[in-house]
Chain A
């Protein structure tokens, strides 16, 4: 490990942020914060893609990161619509209270 950033630095950083997002998903019960943790996971994967893309001198990772961003945008829209719908029914954002598939 040197002072100058190399591929391994970016990969370890992405792994650390991925694990932080995992902790968020496992610990928090607030549905919106769960989705924010999922955004953290997607971003760390994007960082991995772009780091590999640079150090392999290849632009395919950039394209993949672009698609991941598009999927994240679509996912956020649908997920927040679901959150809104659930909040109208249960008056809460606690995911533990959402136990019924119907209503």
Chain B
């Protein structure tokens, strides 16, 4: 994974934590909004580390751009300075809030550490490899070992120890399956992890001219987390929620206008 990626992860993680605390600690509402903008930029960095480049850009454009502009606009329109709401008073209520949130955090963290156990997953994957081997042996006629090995349980699904190289090879295997024609886009229901399941562009949506205008050959399928691969999912399997989002935004626009306008006598 290299040296820089963990370093940037820790920078972004600490920055996100500190600026999140700043959002709820600052007295001045304007400072809170500015801290939230910084927070959104750290989140965008984390998304880039998670190979979600499209969402990182959307995060900056929509959150740090559009939403926070509306927040800052409202704050400045209402001319809010240091709030005199009476939060300066330290009370038992604050202590209880922090304690209960800490309890929730340790509950979630403990549950995560139990469920996403790297060793368990690693054992599960080795077990899967053994079962695969046993399946091969079964075809060779050695049924005894196969039955013996298949009784072991394993944890499917959570690939916590999967590294960058494995992700890349999995994705290229997916692309290769697509190129061979053994996999089709937008087929079927949810499955946990299936290398043959495509996240790439169907032929009808490919743009063959991309090669001619200087892009890298073979890149037209879209890479993991890039705009093309996400948007292909949006307009194929998730087309109904995507359209409903348009209706939601329209109703939000109408609702915001009706609520915020002054009542005409």
State the A residues within 8 Å of B (CB). Answer: 3-13, 15-24, 26-30, 32-33, 35-37, 39-40, 43, 46-47, 50-51, 53-60, 62-63, 65-67, 69-78, 80-85, 87-88, 92-94
Contact = CB atoms under 8 A, between A and B. Distances in A.
A6 B160 contact: yes
A37 B55 CA distance: 21
By size class, the interface of chain B is 35 or more
A26 B100 contact: yes
B23 A36 contact: yes
Nearest to B174: A57
Interface stretch (B111-119, B132-140, B210-218): B111-119
Given A27-B94, A63-B233, A94-B85, 20 more contacts: A15-B105, A15-B112, A20-B21, A20-B24, A24-B23, A32-B71, A33-B32, A37-B24, A40-B36, A50-B50, A54-B225, A55-B159, A59-B233, A62-B52, A62-B233, A70-B249, A74-B251, A77-B256, A81-B257, A83-B74
B49 A5 contact: yes
B9 A5 contact: yes
A92 B86 CA distance: 11
Nearest to A69: B62
Contacts of B128: none
A11 to B, nearest CB: 5
B252 A77 contact: yes
Interface stretch (B40-48, B144-152, B201-209): B40-48
A66 B70 contact: no
A4 B6 contact: yes
B248 A11 contact: no
Contacts of B87: 27-30
A85 B230 contact: no
